Structure 1
Amino acid sequence: MKKILFVMDRKVLAEALMIEMKHISGAAFSKEYNYKRAAIAAEVFQPNIMLLEIPESKKISLHQCLEICNDVRKILPECKILLLTPESSKDAREMAIKAVQDGNVNDFIYYDTSMEYLKSKLKSM
């Protein structure tokens, strides 16, 4: 069974994704809005995929987002990690690219991606 954990600042988007993704046969979903609890949520839920939003609100730093990814990798080395990145932030873009190159995350997509592309990306992971 595919299990996807959404670690997101945008609650409406997380809810919409869960509704949109429900048609994936045999998939289970969970969400965590508190970034400080993301690694614990991953340990409890045991996802195959984690979608982590880099918030534009700056509630959490880029460095802290990367720390979450590293913590989840330690707990669940097989978990695939997809970053949802603000295209308007040069720092976030550069961090996401480096995180992929360094193997800290599997991939990233921008906020302005279509819902269909995001769903396809999650299905393919």
Structure 2
Amino acid sequence: MTHEVPVSASDMPVLLTVLVSTGGDATTTVRLVLPDSSKLLATSPEPDGIITDKEIGTGNSLLNQTLKIKTIVELDLIPDGLRQSMIDNLVVKYTFTQGDNTTSFEYEDAEKRVSSDKKLVIVIKNVKLV
């Protein structure tokens, strides 16, 4: 499922914030999807998966482009009895800001994958900037 986010065709920067609420270690990467490859635009600097107000490009450079935002959560250090609760209560919130315009949303359940041993959760959110 691809989420559409409005951006204006301008030189105004587009900022992205990804907030992750988890008790495990998390990593978030943001890639611009290209015809034959992808380009890394941002990665979370700490093992919490959070990216704060990262400039990912301008409206002109991102208009009609698709981003793939991938958050990987490792729950291997979480006790077995708590993992399912961590999986069920995982929150990943995406916020795009360009000037005074802000769009926020979370992932859909279908975008979350859990390993059979419940030690790894992967959330992949595809975003088209329109």
* TM-score of the pair, normalised by structure 2: 0.28
Higher Rg of the two aligned structures: 2
- Using structure 1 for the length normalisation, give the TM-score: 0.29
Structure (1/2) with the larger helix percentage: 1
The structure in which a higher percent of residues are strand is: 2
